[in-house]
Amino acid sequence: MVTAPQPTTSAVQDDPSQPVLVFEDVSIGFEGKKVLDNISFKVSPGETRILLGPAGSGKSVLLKLANGLMRPDSGTITVFGEEINTMPEEQLFQLRGRIGMVFQEGALFDSLTVRDNVAYRLIEQKVPEEEVTRRVLEALRFVELEQTVDKFPSQLSGGMRRRVAIARAIVNRPDLILYDSPTGGLDPITSTTIVELVMKQRDVYHTSSLLVTHRLQDAFMLATHTFDRGENHMVPIPNDGLDPKTNFLMLHDGHLVFDGSTHDLVHSDDPFIKEYLS
Partner 1 sequence: MPFEKIESIAKKLLLSVQDYAILTGRAIGNIFQRPRYIADLIVQADSIGIGSVPIVLLTGFFTGGVLALQSASSLAQFGATAITGELVSLSMIKELGPVLTSLMVSGRNASGMASELGSMMVTEQIDAMRALGTDPVKKLVTPRLYATVFMLFFLTILSDTVGTLGGAVISVFMLGQDGSQYFHTAYQTLRYPDIIQGLVKPIVFGFIIASVGCYYGMTTRGGTQGVGRSTTQAVVVSSVLIIAIDLVISQFMIGVFGR
CB of 54 to partner 1, least distance (A): 21
Residues 150-209 contacting partner 1, CB under 8 A: 168
Q: Is 104 in the site for partner 1 (CB under 8 A)?
A: yes
Q: Which stretch binds partner 1 (CB under 8 A): 102-110, 127-135, 237-245, 262-270?
A: 102-110
Q: How many residues bind partner 1 (CB under 8 A)?
A: 23
Nearest to 4 by CA among 222, 177, 200: 200
Q: Is 62 in the site for partner 1 (CB under 8 A)?
A: no
Q: How far apart are CA 118 and CA 207, in angstroms?
A: 19
CB atoms < 10 A from the CB of 34, how many? 15
Out of 51, 101, 176, 212, the residue judged to bind partner 1 by CB under 8 A:
101
Q: Is 83 in the site for partner 1 (CB under 8 A)?
A: no
Q: How far apart are CA 254 and CA 13, in angstroms?
A: 34
Out of 124, 131, 150, 264, the residue judged to bind partner 1 by CB under 8 A:
124
Distances (CA, A) of 263 to 147, 165, 175: 41, 31, 27
Q: Is 142 in the site for partner 1 (CB under 8 A)?
A: no
Residue 118 backbone dihedrals phi, psi, to 5 degrees:
-65, -35
Q: Is 115 in the site for partner 1 (CB under 8 A)?
A: no
Phi-psi region of 185 (alpha: psi -120 to 50; beta: other; left: phi over 0): left
Judged by the rule CB under 8 A, the positions of this chain that interact with partner 1 are: 64, 67, 69, 89-90, 93-94, 96-97, 99, 101, 103-105, 107-110, 120-121, 124-125, 168
